[in-house]
Amino acid sequence: MTLNNQQQSIIIAKRVFKTNLNVRSGEKVLIVVDTCNRELGEIFFKASEEHGLETMLMQYLPREKSGMEPPKIVAEAMKQADVALCITKTSISHTNARKEAAAHQTRVATMPGLTKDMLLYGALNADYQQVRKDGEALKEILDQGREVIIKTGDQSLSFQIEGRHSKASNGLLRQPGDSGNLPSGETFLAPLEGTANGKILIDGSIAGIGQVTEPIELTINHGKLVAATGNEGKKLLQLLGEGEGRYVGEFGIGTNQSARITGNILEDEKAYGTCHIAFGTNITFGGTIDAGVHLDAVTLTPTVMIDGKTIASHGQLRWNEEC
């Protein structure tokens, strides 16, 4: 019998609960959606019920931009659950709600911008053991590193990372307090604030904007985004505001070989061999910026060097060659 897309979606959602989240009998599951994602929420609700879990779905109005807090009642409910899935238009990954829920031992999976296409194909169907292996190898390099240089064509951006600890987000959120994106596959950290200088070409996608129509050149001075080319660059500046939102808050490298570039930042930033920088909040993963906004920008085929050693180029990870 041929399964329709709805049936296939529920099967994959059930696999996510079992493989990625390690759900167990008697656990309480909270599914958080905004009004843009009710249908996807109901797919995961059905999958959770089929696992025999006590399941609740909460819905709220979409937030304006990533990094904004969900309603307080949602944040409180997240702390009471064993597992919380957050399927929202804008990301709540870098919010106090997510951080506090994890501190209360909730396993939190944030899925901002998830689509049914992404559920059926692409990054959620990765070999997550391989994602973990690549992510941990990158983590070891980053944790020992001092300086990162990203080259994109004639542009070069450098910043300091000494003393900052990276996170290998591998999509396996199986222990109490684990949290991260699903689909996943990135190793990232918070660069030392104020140390980023230079230019970088963004030719992939930008959170809140989508896949760029032309490459955008970003100019960064003492950690702050001071110029961005084109109409989409202008929009990025507007979304970030005039304050701390314009400071470099994150650097990450994609480790998911099944991830595609679709214009959806949730999947795009995980694509193997890409890198991304983000502006705004990083206090939730080791930095000092609390800006109320967090927007990622993806570069497709950068050359990434750490302390003079090339670890990524031409869409491939290369630590085995030089490290």
Is residue 89 helix, strand or coil? coil
Phi/psi of residue 137, nearest 5 degrees: -65, -45
Are both 22 and 90 inside the same structural domain?
yes
137/255 Cα distance (integer angstroms) = 10
Are both 157 and 180 inside the same structural domain?
yes
pLDDT, tens digit, for every residue of 6-53?
Answer: 889 999 999 999 999 999 999 999 999 999 999 999 999 999 999 999
Q: Give yes or no for residue 112 having a pLDDT over 50.
A: yes
Are both 235 and 309 inside the same structural domain?
yes
- Token pair listed for 98: 């997510």
Q: Which of 97, 120, 143 is the last residue of a domain?
A: 120
Kindly give, in sequence order, each residue whose CB lies less than 8 Å from that of residue 148, ignoring residues fewer than 6 positions away. Answer: 158, 159, 160, 161, 191, 251, 304, 305, 306
Are both 200 and 74 inside the same structural domain?
no
Q: How many separate domains does the chain show?
A: 2
pLDDT band at 65 (very low <50, low <70, confident <90, very high): confident
Q: For residue 322, what pLDDT is reported?
A: 44
Are both 78 and 138 inside the same structural domain?
no
Are both 116 and 247 inside the same structural domain?
no
Are both 217 and 90 inside the same structural domain?
no
Are both 34 and 180 inside the same structural domain?
no
Contact between residue 151 and residue 303 where contact means Cβ atoms under 8 Å apart:
yes
Mean pLDDT of 289-316: 95
What's the chain's length in residues?
A: 323
Are both 262 and 285 inside the same structural domain?
yes
Q: Which of 120, 139, 160 is the last residue of a domain?
A: 120
Mean pLDDT of 315-320: 80
| Amino acid sitting at position 28 | K
Are both 98 and 187 inside the same structural domain?
no
| Amino acid sitting at position 160 | Q
pLDDT, tens digit, for every residue of 226-281?
Answer: 999 999 999 999 999 999 999 999 999 999 999 999 999 999 999 999 999 999 99
- Token pair listed for 298: 């993806």
pLDDT, tens digit, for every residue of 133-160?
Answer: 999 999 999 999 999 999 999 999 999 9
Are both 62 and 87 inside the same structural domain?
yes
Q: For residue 2, what pLDDT is reported?
A: 58
pLDDT band at 323 (very low <50, low <70, confident <90, very high): very low
In what order do the strands lie in the sheet containing 186-189?
Answer: 167-169, 186-189, 248-254, 275-280, 294-299, 205-206, 210-211
- Token pair listed for 196: 């980023």
pLDDT band at 318 (very low <50, low <70, confident <90, very high): confident
Contact between residue 212 and residue 203 where contact means Cβ atoms under 8 Å apart:
yes
Domain that holds residue 143: 127-322
CA distances to 16, 148, 189, 197, 224 from 168, in Å: 18, 17, 9, 25, 25
Mean pLDDT of 298-308: 97
Contact between residue 159 and residue 117 where contact means Cβ atoms under 8 Å apart:
no
Are both 115 and 154 inside the same structural domain?
no
CATH number for the domain harbouring residue 40: 3.40.1830.10
Q: Which of 88, 120, 152 is the last residue of a domain?
A: 120
Q: In this structure, are strands 155-160 and 210-211 parallel, antiparallel, or unpaired?
A: unpaired
